[in-house]
Amino acid sequence: MNNIWRDRKLRLPIKIRLYTSIVKAVLLYNAEMWPLTKTETQRLEAAHHKWLRRILNVSWKDMVRNESIWVQTGQEKLELSVQERRLRWLGHVPRLSDDRIAKQVLHWVSEDRKK
């Protein structure tokens, strides 16, 4: 992939589409099911920033803020993408049949209620 990111003949929108369809798709595979901790979120964001900087050919030594990289690439935080995927998946769960585990878990109530 480094050859693609370094290629000066490819325009930025093409590189961003490749990043979104290949790298980001793999990075967020089944993310709606992940129990994300703060550390894992930070690691995901760091990987995301590293890829975007590599696409723009910007080093961390150049002191370019992440916000300006997001504006240049038109990307957003991965945390927002994970939240969007979770909400989209949650919208599908009520339409599942009653014997599916996801729907049973969503409506599960503990029988051992302690005061």
Domain positions in the chain are 2-106
CA distances to 3, 8, 22, 33, 41 from 86, rounded to whole Å, are: 34, 37, 20, 8, 15
Nearest to 51 by CA among 33, 32, 66, 34: 66
Q: CA-CA distance, 34 to 51, in Å (whole number)?
A: 22
Among candidates 39, 2, 38, which has minimal Cα distance to 18?
A: 2
Could you tell me the two tokens for 28?
Answer: 């967020």
pLDDT in tens, 81-110: 999 999 999 888 889 898 998 888 887 887
On whether the CB atoms of residues 35 and 65 are closer than 8 A, the answer is no
- Is-contact 5 57, C-beta < 8 A? yes
Closest CA to 47 of 71, 20, 23, 75: 23
Q: How confident is the model at residue 20, as a pLDDT?
A: 93
Residue the block writes with tokens 């961390």? 60
Percent of the chain residues topping a pLDDT of 70? 97
Q: Is the pLDDT of residue 50 over 80?
A: yes
Query: Residue 114's pLDDT band (boundaries 50, 70, 90)?
Result: low
Q: Could you give phi then psi for residue 14, rounded to 5 degrees?
A: -70, -40
